[in-house]
Amino acid sequence: MPKNQPLSRPRTITWLSLGHACVDVYQGSVAALVPYFVLEREYTYAAASGIVLAASLLSSVVQPLFGALTDRWPMPWLLPLSTLIAGVGVALSGITGSYVLTLIVVAISGIGVAAFHPEAARAARKASRGSHSAMGWFSLGGNLGFATSPLLVSAVIATGGLQASPLLVVPALAGAALCLSAVRSARTPAAGTASAGAKAGSDDWVSFARLSGAVICRSIVFVSLSAFVSLYAQERTGGSPAAGTAALFILYIGGAIGTVLGASLANRFGRIQIVRWSYALTVLAVAGVVFVPGPLIYVFVALASAGLYVPFSLHMTLGQDYLPQRVGTASGVTLGLTVSIGGLTTPVIGAIADNASLQVALIPLIVMPAIGWILVHSLQEPKAPGSSSEPRTQSTAAIRNDA
């Protein structure tokens, strides 16, 4: 398709993107709740990070399983159901009577998030008719959900305390309705729509493994910053919880800006090149977050957000293109397993912070994007389906062509 030809955004993609936003509110909400658990329940850093771990642990196992299942059987009914499960778990987290019950309900929320992403990514790829641009819009929806979650949590919990957490179920109700609309819309596909896998090429597991390793490194940095940047910003600036919420919002809003910027740059320079540059930027940005004091920390949080989010949708489409025969599995790993593994490291970060300081605990995060850069440095663009020699150079999305 010519570069200057606009790509349509089917109605299904619109509903899926909005539903994705509602679901990813709950991925961001768990980290946004951590400062309130520390303040109201007097949890230690390690205990609070265990909440993030609970939301991630089952997801890390379940999401690839759902991906493999959706490769065999489309399960559109999962979309509204998983959205409701994700919302109910977070909504109950503030009114549980014990730490164990809190762990259980946020784990249930994590299962809901895990069940949503592989089926939604499969449905979006099919509805997009192979358009990387449409997949970029799908990713953008999720990143906007991440970005708004700290604001939503702050508005609800800062006003009514943790006992007001049941109000956080509202995005789930809206998301379930949007997903139902997407399912209905997908039943009557546009003329010429075909499965993205109809002319799929062969799977490149070696490249996919390298990409997955890099995404794990990115995930460790992102999840750890999500869990602790709010508290750390308060320490470095001597500010209030609002100062911490601002840092978390800056980290998350990069999802919207980074997805658009990454798509535009990748269309010009190629996905692999932009991914490499992003990991290099993240090394410097995270070092600034850790060591630069005062209000300048917000500048480096913004740079870290760009470095972490610019390659986000590129990871997804590259993973799907490396495994064109297993789109659901690729989505389950790049959107699920690798992201969830980041949550497994947060208790370690929390324990170091309790025994030394939060700054010392965050220092290892500087190394992670450097390892990611090494892993992606030798990657090549996936070959176009049906081609033995010509690489696929179309990026995830010149989103500006669709605006």
Give 159: exposed, middle or buried? Use CB within 10 Å, 0-12, 13-18, 19+: exposed
- Closest among 329, 257, 325, 251 to 289, alpha carbons compared: 251
- Closest among 286, 299, 234, 225 to 31, alpha carbons compared: 225
- Closest among 91, 52, 56, 39 to 228, alpha carbons compared: 52
The stretch 265-272 carries a mean pLDDT of 85
The confidence score (pLDDT) of residue 206 equals 93
35 pLDDT exceeds 80?
Answer: yes
What DSSP string describes 113-136?
Answer: HHHHHHHHHHHHHHHTTT-HHHHH
Query: pLDDT tens digits, residue range 351-395?
Result: 898 888 899 999 999 999 999 999 999 899 887 554 444 444 443
SS3 291: helix
Strand partners, 383: 391
Q: Report the alpha-carbon distance of residue 332 to residue 325 in Å, rounded.
A: 14
Eight-class DSSP state of 391: B
- Closest among 277, 259, 384 to 314, alpha carbons compared: 259
> 39 or 403, which is more confident?
39
The confidence score (pLDDT) of residue 347 equals 80
Query: pLDDT tens digits, residue range 95-153?
Result: 987 899 988 999 899 889 888 888 888 788 777 775 666 777 788 888 788 778 888 99
Q: Which domains does the chain have, with CATH numbers?
A: 11-401 (1.20.1250.20)
pTM for the model stands at: 0.71
Contacts of 172 (CB under 8 A, 6+ apart): 22, 23, 26, 83, 84, 86, 87, 88, 91
The confidence score (pLDDT) of residue 87 equals 94
Q: Report the alpha-carbon distance of residue 276 to residue 364 in Å, rounded.
A: 20
- Closest among 195, 226, 317 to 266, alpha carbons compared: 317
Strand partners, 391: 383
Eight-class DSSP state of 396: S
Q: Report the alpha-carbon distance of residue 352 to residue 356 in Å, rounded.
A: 6
